[in-house]
Amino acid sequence: MHETPTSGPCWSGSIRLENNRPASNTFLFVFLATALALLTGTDSAIALEIKTDYTTIVYPSNATLHEFNDNLYLGRNLEFRLRAKKTVTIEEEVAFKVDILIEKAQEVMGMHIVNFNFRIILHSSADKMQQEYLATNKRKVHYKAYYSLKHNILNIGVDEVNLRVFSHELGHVIVDHYFKVRPPGKIHEVLAQYCEINITN
Domain ranges for the chain: 16-198
Long-range contacts formed by 83-87: CB under 8 A, 24+ apart: none
Lowest mean pLDDT among 78-92, 125-139, 151-165: 78-92
- How many angstroms separate the CA atoms of 125 and 159, rounded? 5
> ∠71-77-81 over CA atoms, to 5°?
85
With cut-offs at 50, 70 and 90, classify the pLDDT of residue 18.
very low
Q: Does residue 39 have a pLDDT over 80?
A: no
For residue 87, give Cα distances in angstroms to 3, 29, 82, 92, 94. Answer: 34, 31, 8, 6, 9
Of residues 187 and 18, the one with the higher pLDDT is 187
DSSP 3-state assignment of 159? coil
Of the candidates 28, 57, 32, 64, the one whose C-alpha atom is nearest the C-alpha of residue 46 is: 32
* Across 5-17, average pLDDT: 31
Bigger pLDDT: 80 vs 172: 172
Banded pLDDT at 1 (limits 50, 70, 90):
low
Query: Is the per-residue pLDDT at 127 higher than 70?
Result: yes
User: Which pLDDT value is given to residue 87?
Assistant: 80
Give pLDDT, residue 84.
85
Average per-residue pLDDT for the chain = 83
Cα end-to-end distance, the chain, whole Å = 22
